[in-house]
Amino acid sequence: MYKNLVKTSLFLLNLPPFLYLSSFLLFFSLPLYPAPLKAKPKTILVTGGAGFIGSHVNKDLCDAGYQTIILDNLYRGSREAVYKAIFIEGDFGNAHLLDQIFKDYLIDAVMHFGGLKDVGESTQEPIRYYSTNVGSTLVLLEAMLRHEVKIFVFSSSAAIFGQPLMENITEEHPCNPINPYGHSKLMIETILKDLDKAYGLRYSCLRYFNAAGGDPDGVIKNHQLKNSNLIPIILRSLEEPNGHVTVFGMDHKTFDGTCIRDYIHVKDISAAHITVMEKLFNGEHSQNYNLGNGKGFSVNEVIDTIEKVTGRKINVTASSRREGDPPKLIASSQKAKNELGWEPYFPSLETMVEHAWQAMP
Ligand SMILES: NC(=O)c1ccc[n+]([C@@H]2O[C@H](COP(=O)([O-])OP(=O)(O)OC[C@H]3O[C@@H](n4cnc5c(N)ncnc54)[C@H](O)[C@@H]3O)[C@@H](O)[C@H]2O)c1
């Protein structure tokens, strides 16, 4: 033992001086205590995250430091719209796949954008709409509860209200949907209320009319293969050889005879989703919020603005009014303003059109 000590001392004495110095520096640079752990980013499962709204919310979540997992069957969405996230191609109604996802990743919350959204189609194919929007969403909710995930943000719709009984639709407006799409959204809202009572699932339902705009950074394109919203329909008509736009009703009781609708920038919708989710993380109770621009725009105003932004002439065909088309649909966002401090950051129609035009794939 004594011999070994002498050997080691002799060896150390023979070391070149720079090695003494670096060992000294290394020793004193070692922390005495482990460095405090950085908070682990929360993981969000985003269904329908390859679609229009989901892809923008996913980008904002990633930019805000969340880890995201997108589950989308690409029925309408596009793989190219997926930014940074872990992407899983599949159906949110597949219980087996959901169990696997909840086992593989520690999910903190689910944002649910997946589903079918075409009002007209829903009247022709109600079973498909109820099966996906209600049946499959129920499968997703059951899977969440099996895996103890109890925070849910739901992309509902102003279609739950039906014919407007007041100028600005508040959260107190009676819910009388007039098509299977609206019914399917209301059914999930009702189910969520019961799941909160029974299992403590906390949720937020956000209702809006027409999501518009595009990524101001120009990173995400609006890839969805089919979009029943007015602005993309008109923009696409400009790209088609004989493209034209049909305006249903020029004799509505509005200032220029065309329907007035509430358009809201997809980035503003995204901001509201993230805010309500963070409120839920901080212990907030379940809530419903209407999201609107505070101001509607008529079909003619949309056409004029698109012509101005793109510098192109739109080929317009006038048609008679569609049955049950209310002249004016505007959401009141007063509750979202008061409780979330949320206000549209991009309320101008011109900005929405510019961003949508720039986001054309
Ligand atoms: N776009 C609007 O103006 C608007 C207005 C109010 C409410 N919403 C609601 O917001 C949500 C998102 O709308 P969007 O405009 O982004 O629609 P979208 O069609 O662009 O996106 C929906 C996504 O869900 C996916 N999907 C559909 N069925 C699926 C399934 N069974 N499993 C997995 N993925 C599936 C599609 O592939 C698509 O990527 C929808 O629930 C819609 O009802 C949209």
Q: Is residue 61 part of a domain?
A: yes
- Give residues with Cβ within 8 angstroms of 49, minimum separation 6: 55, 57, 58, 68, 70, 71, 72, 77, 82, 85, 87, 111, 113
- Ligand 1: atom nearest CA of 93 is 31
- Give residues with Cβ within 8 angstroms of 119, minimum separation 6: 159, 179, 181, 182, 228
Q: Is residue 273 part of a domain?
A: yes
For 33-60, how does the pLDDT look when each residue is reduced to its tens digit (9 = 90+)?
A: 445 555 789 999 999 999 999 999 999 9
Determine if ligand 1 sits within 6 Å of the CB of residue 91: yes
Region of 248 (left: φ > 0; alpha: ψ -120 to 50; beta: rest) is: beta
Q: Is residue 23 part of a domain?
A: no
> Residue 10, Cβ neighbours under 10 Å: how many?
9
Q: What does pTM read for this prediction?
A: 0.89
- Ligand 1: atom nearest CA of 71 is 33
Determine if ligand 1 sits within 6 Å of the CB of residue 49: no
Q: Which of 189-193, 272-276, 302-306, 328-332 has the lowest mean pLDDT?
A: 328-332
Determine if ligand 1 sits within 6 Å of the CB of residue 78: no
What CATH number has the domain bearing residue 282?
A: 3.40.50.720
Q: Is residue 316 part of a domain?
A: yes
Q: Is residue 155 part of a domain?
A: yes
Centroid of ligand 1 to alpha carbon of 285 (angstroms): 25
For 87-145, how does the pLDDT look when each residue is reduced to its tens digit (9 = 90+)?
A: 999 999 999 999 999 999 999 999 999 999 999 899 999 999 999 999 999 999 999 99
- Domain count across the chain: 1
Q: What is the domain extent for residue 324?
A: 43-358
Could you tell me what percent of the chain has a pLDDT over 70? 89
Residue of minimum CA distance from atom 11 in ligand 1:
113
Q: Is residue 174 part of a domain?
A: yes
Residue of minimum CA distance from atom 27 in ligand 1:
115
- Ligand 1: atom nearest CA of 158 is 6
Q: Is residue 88 part of a domain?
A: yes
Centroid of ligand 1 to alpha carbon of 76 (angstroms): 8
Residue 153 host element (H or E)? strand 151-155
Known catalytic residues are 181
Whether 2 shows a pLDDT value over 50: the answer reads: no
Determine if ligand 1 sits within 6 Å of the CB of residue 48: yes
Q: Is residue 7 part of a domain?
A: no
Determine if ligand 1 sits within 6 Å of the CB of residue 69: no
